[in-house]
Chains A and B, each alone.
Chain A
Amino acid sequence: MKVEIRKWRGVIYVLALSGSVAFVSFYGGPLPYVLLHALLLLLPVSIVYTIINYMNLKVYQEIDTVKVTKGELHNYRATIENAFIFPVYKLGIFLYEDRCIMESLTGDLVYSLNSKEKIELKSEIKCKYAGAYDIGIEKISLEDPFGIYKVILDVPYKFRAVVSPQITDMASKAIEIENIFNNRGLSSDNLVQEIPGSDIRPYVPGDSFHSINWKVSAKVGDIMVRVPDNMERQTVTMLLLADEKEEDKYTITALKRRDYFLEFIVSAAWYFASEDMPVKFIYPAGRISQFTVDSKKSFSEFYSIVADGIFYNSPGVYKDLKDTLQNQGKGVYGEDTWIVVTENPKENEEFCRIY
């Protein structure tokens, strides 16, 4: 809550009050006392009136879809209702201008509502960042009749939007996937792909023409095909170290950081999915979770959860997440390539590091 006082009006009020006190010091009776009481009660009754207005103000906000995408236009609607008999005068509306753009709602938004009156505000909205955060109306303001004070309060109900990141190629440049596999030649025992084999058998209708071994067929005089072998496929693990600080996670800096983080992850996942390369994501979804993206279908699933699915439900989860990095090269994961993406890297850390 923030209260702004207009000094000059306050001074005039104090002068009027002092005058009435002086008046009542010399004269008794109804006129002096009623005047004094009126001036004395002016501010307290204004405060009471403001409180009543605020308590009976209903604000509902909605968007046409459940999840929106960053940078895309969506339809936004806000309904503001005065649920009491006391009219609301000059209600000021303040939007979240730093994180979303309202195409139709610009400038000073000041509305007055009569008793039980409802107004509807409609606009197209574009969210600037990926993630889960409040958009639309942030605060409202109310004043007293003589403009001595203006109180700015949080809107009773805020609207939380889930904004999915855009899919770009920012991650591929950073990670250099081709080089990772050419140099390392690592493999996983989970996933396999077929390669032409060394065993031969006669051609059966339905076999692929690519599997015909022409050399052997010429020798034998009959069409012979190779029997395919399973080759172990190479895989990657991405460890997503989201920012553990909860207290300032809705600041613009934090939103921008999260936006970049999500876009990077999604870009990386999209790249792996389009190359049919499996990538295991280890991330905090309350507690430590993992998700493997190895196809477009699995990517879609991952994409739908990533915008609001990365969070910690206790401080220990972050520590445990960092400890999983110690498992790199051991146990189940073998000698996988590990890519650690840190949302809020410290001074001696990198945003993206490959192990």
Chain B
Amino acid sequence: MKNSAGFIRDIRATIFVFIISVIGVEVYLLGGFSEAIGVADLERNSFVICTTLFYLLFCLIGYMINLFEDGKMAIILSVIVALPLGVLLFRYRHIALLLALIIAVGLRLILGLISWQQQLIKYGIFLIGAVAVFLWYFYDCFETVNTINRLLFAAIIVISLSSIQQILVEKNKGEFPFHFFLLLCLFILIIPVKPKPLDWSRVQSLAGKIADASDNVAYYFSGIYDNGNYDTGYSNLQVNGGKVKKSNKNQLVLTTSQMPYIVYTDSTTGKQMKGRKILYLQGQQGVDNRQLIEFLQFLYDHNVDRSKASIFSQISKLSVEYVYLTTGDEIVPRGVISLKSSGGEIHKKGYKEDTVYLDIDYGSPIFMQLCREKALDKPALSYEQMCKYTNEIYRMDLSEIVSKQEYEASLLDDDLSEYEVLPKDDKNLHDLTTEITRPANNDYDKCRLIEGYLRQYPYTTDAVGGYDKQSTMATADGMGDIAGRFLFDTKEGYCVHFTASMVMLLREAGIPARAMSGFRYLYPYERQKEYKVQANCAHLWPEAYIDGLGWIPFEPTSAYYSSEEVTWHRGEGEKAMDNGAVGESLATIAPDIPIDEKADSRKVDKGFVVTVVVIIVLSIAALIGFAIAITVLIRYVKYKHASLDERLIIDVESIKLQLVKNAASQIEDRGLLSDYLALVADGLKPEVQHSFNLYYKVLYGGKTGTITKEDSIRTHQLVEAISKS
């Protein structure tokens, strides 16, 4: 047991010797001691290994001698073998090896003969470790990933841990067996080491995946307990118009190469303006080619050529990816003409579709005018003629989208009876429709008048549905109930109420109408890689069927821009003024919504409004005041702790700012103080010139501490003088 303990002590000492030799060699190579010692070439790794092996050899010899002879004699006898070895090495001029031998002998004698060997290793390791870290940090030593460097730091760390255990845990009253730390060292050496820092990107992506997964779970379970309310988000027509709360969950991701905004010249100011585009996405099953064909026929009937068509229509492309959306419908842009799946499981998260659609500017004055004009009585085009016409208008091959059979089928009259169904009790609706549409002399104007009338109603999401809780947008009676309550009772609501009302009023006016559900997305001003459509973009809007034109959408919801307000402004000039005139005339014709006598009781309390406004104003004032105070404080502290040179620079900059402010004009900073000198009042010019000269001295003089305290004070006083002048 005694021998075993001694053996472990020798192993620890050998490791210590290894550390010393590695660091010693490194210091030797860094310090350039080769000439002094007379060893020109010293191969680091070999030298270290040799020194360690020599020391280990002496330990083994000592171990064997210990079986016969105990005590310090065994240490001395163990290095006897170094003598003949040394002579041999000297004879054959292996100077580096001889040096290693000498060092090993020296260390063996020192560590073996001193009684405080253990204390030396215990406390010395911290010093050695600090030297190693110092060399690593400041001289880039031991950076290469090789066995010696790994062994070095493994050895330093295990001996340090052993020392820490003895000193801090055992309070020098015992020590945990060094066998444990040797085992630890072995395991450390097995694990490979990288030259570069830890790469967290994989962890980050994993964390992202976990976050997505938890979002998925949260999303799919979020609808379980909704307490009778529901979040905004895409749904079919099974909505009842009850209270909603806004949700910003991502439902779709759009990708398009087209610009998200339009650029036009404002006719009033003549300035270039940027207008955000609006995209309507609707839920439907497949592509409705009939709509495309009707529209093309409409264009043909109105002698629309390519240039005229391009004012209010264009072919666009869009990719739609489903995120947190659960529906069996395909969400496509309005006017879709081509739809292809491009990945993911259908209708599930990740499902992607590439669409091509005919984007129409329904608010374009040209288009609106065409809608009002009576079409020329032309026969329906044949398939071939239509293909040719489409190619002329849009440079598009219609045969790739619509087959001849589909084309001929679309020419047949469509059954629109389901879009003309009215609720049972519709007298009020009928009377209202008659009143609203009296001035109109065509179906399109009727639609516009109804739309204008409804846009007078205020918008709120804190609304109620129909009188019957079962009423939904899926049936005419349901829509009628919702519309009736909205139009004559509550007089406030959101898209569901506005759409239900317009559909009912249109039907009362004899115009087939339907409700469409989907999303209304307002593009940002800047182009992005992808555009996220959130649940609060979910929307309902009405469409009216105009004979000879097809289905036209309208926007009666007052919270959103109408189609005229988001027109592309193409082909404007005097036409813009015409558009304004038409808009005005309709506004004066449409009656106001009737005032409810009970509205007085629901009037907003003026006192409350004043209170709110005062609070907001005070808050803003306090915020501004706080921001100013902080800025002043920071400037003051910065100035106080600045050197005289720095203070001068700050003061001169302040002088420049103050001069510009006093002059109340823009000045281009060419870096010349003479420009600013011209703005100074005559009385202060000499002083300012002096300060400017000091400034140049500080900046370009190359010396610090040239500014005196008096100069600094004078310059500071100048700032105040100029601000007062």
> A35 contacts which chain B residues (CB < 8 A)?
153, 157
Q: Which residue on B lies nearest to A85, using beta carbons?
A: B179
Q: Interface residue tally of chain B, by bracket? A: 35 or more
Task: State in angstroms the CA–CA spacing of A28 and B158 once bound together.
Answer: 20
Report the minimal beta-carbon distance from A115 to chain B, rounded to whole angstroms.
5
Contact yes or no, B169 A37, CB < 8 A: no
Q: A38-B158, A45-B183 are in contact. Are A86 and B152 (CB under 8 A)?
A: no
Stretch at the interface among B193-201, B588-596, B612-620: B193-201
Q: Which residue on B lies nearest to A87, using beta carbons?
A: B177
A355 at the B interface (CB under 8 A): no
> A45 contacts which chain B residues (CB < 8 A)?
180, 183-184, 187
Q: List A185-209 residues whose CB lies under 8 Å from chain B.
A: none
Q: Which residue on B lies nearest to A114, using beta carbons?
A: B1
Task: State in angstroms the CA–CA spacing of A38 and B183 once bound together.
Answer: 11
Task: State in angstroms the CA–CA spacing of A247 and B531 once bound together.
Answer: 68
- Interface size counted on chain A using CB atoms at 8 A: 34
Interface residue from A29, A34, A41, A117 paired with B143 (Cβ < 8 Å): A29
Report the minimal beta-carbon distance from A53 to chain B, rounded to whole angstroms.
10
Contact yes or no, B158 A26, CB < 8 A: no
Interface residue from A21, A34, A86 paired with B180 (Cβ < 8 Å): A86
Contact yes or no, A25 B200, CB < 8 A: yes
Q: Which residue on B lies nearest to A36, using beta carbons?
A: B198
Q: List A16-54 residues whose CB lies under 8 Å from chain B.
A: 21, 24-35, 37-38, 41-42, 45-46, 48-49
Q: Which residue on A lies nearest to B166, using beta carbons?
A: A145
> B149 contacts which chain A residues (CB < 8 A)?
29-30
Task: State in angstroms the CA–CA spacing of A44 and B608 once bound together.
Answer: 67
Contact yes or no, B1 A34, CB < 8 A: no
A96 at the B interface (CB under 8 A): no
B161 at the A interface (CB under 8 A): yes
Task: State in angstroms the CA–CA spacing of A30 and B183 once bound together.
Answer: 19
Contact yes or no, A31 B169, CB < 8 A: no
Q: List A38-92 residues whose CB lies under 8 Å from chain B.
A: 38, 41-42, 45-46, 48-49, 85-87, 89-90
Q: Which residue on A lies nearest to B148, using beta carbons?
A: A30
Task: State in angstroms the CA–CA spacing of A309 and B177 once bound together.
Answer: 47
Contact yes or no, B158 A32, CB < 8 A: no
A214 at the B interface (CB under 8 A): no
Q: A34-B150, A114-B1 are in contact. Are A145 and B176 (CB under 8 A)?
A: yes
B629 at the A interface (CB under 8 A): no
A228 at the B interface (CB under 8 A): no
B4 at the A interface (CB under 8 A): yes
Q: Which residue on B lies nearest to A34, using beta carbons?
A: B153
Task: State in angstroms the CA–CA spacing of A227 and B601 once bound together.
Answer: 131
Q: Which residue on B lies nearest to A12, using beta carbons?
A: B168
Contact yes or no, A38 B197, CB < 8 A: no
Q: Choose among A24, A28, A46 the residue with the greatest number of B CB atoms under 10 Å from its CB.
A: A28
Interface residue from B1, B142, B188 paired with A117 (Cβ < 8 Å): B1
Interface residue from B150, B177, B197, B200 paired with A30 (Cβ < 8 Å): B150
Task: State in angstroms the CA–CA spacing of A262 and B135 once bound together.
Answer: 78
Contact yes or no, A24 B197, CB < 8 A: yes
Q: List B119-160 residues whose CB lies under 8 Å from chain A.
A: 132-133, 136, 142-145, 149-150, 152-154, 157-158
A116 at the B interface (CB under 8 A): yes
Task: State in angstroms the CA–CA spacing of A31 and B145 once bound together.
Answer: 9
Q: List A108-166 residues whose CB lies under 8 Å from chain B.
A: 112, 114-117, 145-147
Contact yes or no, A49 B195, CB < 8 A: no
Q: A38-B184, A41-B184 are in contact. Are A21 and B198 (CB under 8 A)?
A: yes
> B165 contacts which chain A residues (CB < 8 A)?
145-146
B39 at the A interface (CB under 8 A): no
Q: Which residue on A lies nearest to B199, using beta carbons?
A: A25
Q: Which residue on A lies nearest to B143, using beta carbons?
A: A29
Report the minimal beta-carbon distance from B605 to chain A, rounded to whole angstroms.
56
Q: List B164-188 residues whose CB lies under 8 Å from chain A.
A: 165, 169, 174, 176-177, 179-181, 183-184, 187-188
Contact yes or no, A25 B198, CB < 8 A: yes
Q: List A315-347 residues whose CB lies under 8 Å from chain B.
A: none
Contact yes or no, A37 B188, CB < 8 A: yes
Task: State in angstroms the CA–CA spacing of A48 and B187 once bound together.
Answer: 12
Contact yes or no, B183 A31, CB < 8 A: no
> B36 contacts which chain A residues (CB < 8 A)?
none
Q: A38-B157, A114-B1 are in contact. Are A30 and B180 (CB under 8 A)?
A: no
B5 at the A interface (CB under 8 A): yes
Contact yes or no, A114 B153, CB < 8 A: no
> A147 contacts which chain B residues (CB < 8 A)?
169
Task: State in angstroms the CA–CA spacing of A87 and B132 once bound together.
Answer: 31
> B132 contacts which chain A residues (CB < 8 A)?
31
Q: A28-B195, A34-B193, A146-B169 are in contact. Are A114 and B5 (CB under 8 A)?
A: yes
28 A-B pairs (CB sep. < 8 Å): A21-B198, A24-B198, A25-B197, A28-B194, A28-B195, A28-B196, A28-B198, A29-B195, A30-B150, A31-B153, A34-B150, A35-B153, A37-B191, A38-B154, A38-B158, A38-B184, A45-B180, A48-B183, A85-B4, A86-B179, A87-B179, A89-B174, A89-B176, A114-B5, A117-B1, A145-B161, A145-B169, A145-B180
Q: What 8 additional pairs, Cβ within 8 angstroms, besides A29-B142, A31-B153, A45-B184?
A: A26-B197, A28-B197, A30-B145, A38-B184, A45-B183, A49-B180, A86-B180, A87-B179
Closest 3 CB pairs of A and B: A145-B176, A87-B177, A33-B193
Chain A interface (Cβ < 8 Å from any Cβ of B) = 21, 24-35, 37-38, 41-42, 45-46, 48-49, 85-87, 89-90, 112, 114-117, 145-147
